[in-house]
Amino acid sequence: MIIGGSASQKLAAKVAWSLEEKLSPIETRRFPDGERYIRVKGEVPKEVVVIQSTGYPQDENLIELFLLLKNLKSLGVERTRVVIPYFGYGRQERRFKSGEAVSAVIIAELLEAAGASEIYSVNLHEKNIKQFFNIPVHEISAMPMIANYIKETIDDPIIIGPDKGALGFAEEVSGILKCECDYLEKTRISPEKVETKLKNLDVADRNVVIIDDIISTGGTIVNASKILRDLGANKVVVGCVHPVLVEDALLKIFAAGVDDVFATDTLKSDVSTISVASSVAGYLKKYE
């Protein structure tokens, strides 16, 4: 049985269809003071899959997930596999300043305490999150699906990471497509001046695809897009796994001269054109 939380209803339906599994409806509403009411309708089997992304509003989506997991456990479910397409609170996986909460560790502990048996997530922002769990954690890469989308929509692309941190994603996509890739490297010229330029390739008159795992404020993408335009790129397209897209991030990106933006449906957004449902279903089938 597949149970989709409020943040991932459409994705859950697609996964259920792909696996030919029953999709169980849930009833969720708010009390007048804002607290959540959760009810799982119908009988539940001994094994279930819960799909709930934990992006904005993170706190609400996490509380709903915790309520679902603990409720299922009390209803007699013995194995609850939890698909968290976007793992909220996963960016702080260490204490940088004294007194800081290490949110990734806390969320991992709460998920286990609530009743999660296994975790499935798509492109974790920090890879070491997996070590915070005492249960199996399966990381799904969306790069093959992104590569397939690029193959079908863009001729002769160059894949670019907007910074060195995104190079791994660019290399994975370019490796699938058998095309060139590069990244934008920052070099400090003086204490006040930093120069950003491509490490190796020439993008003049080429179709460029910028790839990253998360786009939040859009600042990094805007900077990269302007540089690539200045270098003579013919077309600049931006793709990511998790379209967080805070406030007017999308507007700023298009204003920087980007031709198109695409993302997966780990989060709901206007640019979530690629579904991770088939990959999630494949992983669930693999580890059933």
Over residues 95-112, the mean pLDDT reads: 94
> What is the per-residue pLDDT across 15-33, written as a single tens digit (0 to 9) for each?
999 999 999 989 999 999 9
Q: What is the predicted pLDDT for the residue at 127?
A: 84
**Hey, which residues are catalytic here?**
186
Q: With 90 as the cut, is the pLDDT of residue 190 above it?
A: no
The residue that leads in pLDDT, 192 or 79, is 79
pLDDT digits (tens, 9 = 90+) for 174-186: 999 999 999 988 6
pLDDT at 188 exceeding the cut of 60 = no
- Confidence band, pLDDT 50/70/90 cuts, at residue 91: confident
φ, ψ (nearest 5 deg) of residue 237: -120, 145
Phi and psi torsions of 269, nearest 5°: -165, 170
Residue 208 has pLDDT above 70, yes or no: yes
E strand intervals along 72-144: 79-84, 118-122, 137-140
The distance between the two most distant Cα atoms of the chain, rounded to a whole number of Å, is: 66
Q: Would the pTM count as exceeding 0.85?
A: yes
Q: Is the pLDDT of residue 228 over 90?
A: yes
Whether residue 222 has pLDDT greater than 80: yes
Mean pLDDT of the chain: 93
Residue 104 and residue 84: Cα distance in Å, rounded?
13
Q: What is the mean pLDDT of residues 4-22?
A: 96
